[in-house]
Amino acid sequence: MSEQNITNQTKLQNLWMREGVWYRSPFVQDFLKRARAQYPAPQNGNKAAWPDDEEGIGQNLAYFFTGNLLKIDKILCSLLSDQEAVDYLSQAREITVLDMACGAGTASVGFVDFIDRALNGGVIQRQTPLTISFLVNDLNEPCVAAARKSLDLVQRILHTRNRNILIGSVRPIAGSVSEVETYLRDSSAQFDLLFLCNAFDQILVYGNRVTEKNPHSVDPIARAQPCDRPALLASLFQKLGAFANTYFSRVVLLQESRHYSLISVALPDRSLKLTRTWMVQETDRPDVEKPTMNVRFGYCGCRYGFSNQKFSPTPELQPLETQELPVAAFSDSATVEWFDEELSVND
């Protein structure tokens, strides 16, 4: 890693750290306050890990898994700190994010948080506003609806907090992951950044979920045996490469420890550097019986490999170098009362 890249990464990480501990940004504090005003607090700490209703999905982000936003920030500080990325983010007019298996839109919100802090910290410097558009995909329509609501909140926050970022179009793609390719092909859309976060474990039960939604689905991943499904993602990622921005594109694959080995299974025969790390997460109320847990996860941040000829992607994803600390603790113990700023949720 070049000296300039190390300097950029150090600057970025310092924007999130106080005395070696990662903290939520003012942007995320504002977002969570508004999200909690939008979704009522769960009555107990036993909400299903994969709720099927929009309220439950929104509650998971607003109350239970808020630390995932900091994980996205941590990954992007490594992935987007090289000079190529900094220069592109400083000059591009528009960035398109493809958020696959989006859930409540955690990765999309995390990306806006990253750009907001990088702009405020002077790492990214712009003369004109950056427009960020989104393609949000999930098998469950309530997830897509929750993600759109999250980005609506983001747009309202940016209107008062950072006029250098604009939210462009938000396109929902409800359905199986194979439908993402169909949408991109039919619309001639391109993406700059692709997220697939905490979805590899769901791929193992993916077939049942797809066929429940559509008994006549011919999705090849859904029709395959569970043990074969992760490997079939390799073909999907290769095809998606045809729709990556010719000048700049990146991919983030993230999975918590139980199934992070599936990242390598989904991308076989490629010299990928799978970074394994962990953070200390303190969950929010009302789930405070075990206020601290070790969150171990692996991620791979890559440049997309593809040819200049449309629809003829090369088969490789090129790894990016990373500078990793063996331990990265973060504080995620905030409650609604903890927020520094008294902001009107109706702004």
Reported as a single tens digit per residue, the pLDDT across 135-161 is 999 988 999 999 999 999 999 999 888
51: confidence class by pLDDT, cuts 50, 70, 90: confident
Residue 290 clears pLDDT 50, i.e. is over it = no
Cα separation values, 71 from 4, 16, 264, Å:
23, 11, 20
The DSSP 8-state label assigned to residue 19 in this structure reads T
Mean pLDDT of the chain: 78
Is the bond preceding 40 in cis, omega lying within 30 degrees of 0? no
* Residues 101-127 as b or e (16 or more Cβ within 10 Å = b): bbbbbbbbbbbbbbbbbbbbeebbeee
* Of 3-12, 59-68, 123-132, 278-287, the least confident: 278-287
Q: What is the pTM of this model?
A: 0.85
Q: Any idea which fold 3-338 has?
A: Rossmann fold (3.40.50)
Which range, 183-197, 214-228, 300-314, has the best average confidence (pLDDT)?
A: 183-197
Q: Would you state the pLDDT for residue 64? A: 77
Residue 56 clears pLDDT 60, i.e. is over it = yes
Residue 89 clears pLDDT 70, i.e. is over it = yes
Q: Would you state the pLDDT for residue 156? A: 95
Q: What does the alpha-carbon distance between residue 179 and residue 137 come to, in Å, rounded to a whole number?
A: 9
101: left (phi over 0), alpha (psi -120 to 50) or beta: left
Residue 258 clears pLDDT 80, i.e. is over it = no
